[in-house]
């Protein structure tokens, strides 16, 4: 677990590097606290993607720090293998186009391909 006294940027970097998939969100994967976070967590949960959730509401330094870290103004933010992927709109588009599947596959992250197809079938 990253040291809570370390500057937010260091803690964010450590979290992103230590986990294959990280979602910085408002709330938790079990109880999202905003619709956008709920949408991205819902996609990841449905596709059975193993990921670390970081509740930015628990730490105001991380809440601002993640925006600075990625140079992206909004939350949620998804990272895969240390790379910033995007927020809610980007993840939604990538899920529906199949790009998210391709990226997860290319980076060796396990997920349920059938579930990904179900999402596309019902939202296409």
What backbone torsions phi and psi does residue 75 show, to the nearest 5 degrees? -125, 140
> Which residues carry a binding-site annotation for [2Fe-2S] cluster?
34
pLDDT digits (tens, 9 = 90+) for 8-27: 999 999 999 999 999 999 99
The domain total for the chain is 1
Is residue 1 assigned to a domain?
A: no
> Which residues carry a binding-site annotation?
34
pLDDT digits (tens, 9 = 90+) for 62-86: 999 999 999 999 999 999 999 999 9
- Reported residue count of the chain is 124
Structural domain for 31, as ranges: 8-123
Q: Report the CATH number that the domain containing residue 53 is assigned in CATH.
A: 3.40.30.10
What's the rounded Cα separation, in Å, for the pair 116 and 68?
31
């Amino acid at each position: 677990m990253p040291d809570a006294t370390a500057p937010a940027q260091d803690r964010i970097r450590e979290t992103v590097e230590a986990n294959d998939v990280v979602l910085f969100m408002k709330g938790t994967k079990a109880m999202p606290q905003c619709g956008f976070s709920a949408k991205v967590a819902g996609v990841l949960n449905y596709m059975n993607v193993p990921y670390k959730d970081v509740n930015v509401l628990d730490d105001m330094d991380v809440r601002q720090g993640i925006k600075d870290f990625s140079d992206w103004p909004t939350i949620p933010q998804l990272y895969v293998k240390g790379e910033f992927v995007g927020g809610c709109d980007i993840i939604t588009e990538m899920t529906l186009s199949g790009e998210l599947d391709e990226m997860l596959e290319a980076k060796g992250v396990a997920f349920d391909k059938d579930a990904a197809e179900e999402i596309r079938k019902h939202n296409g």
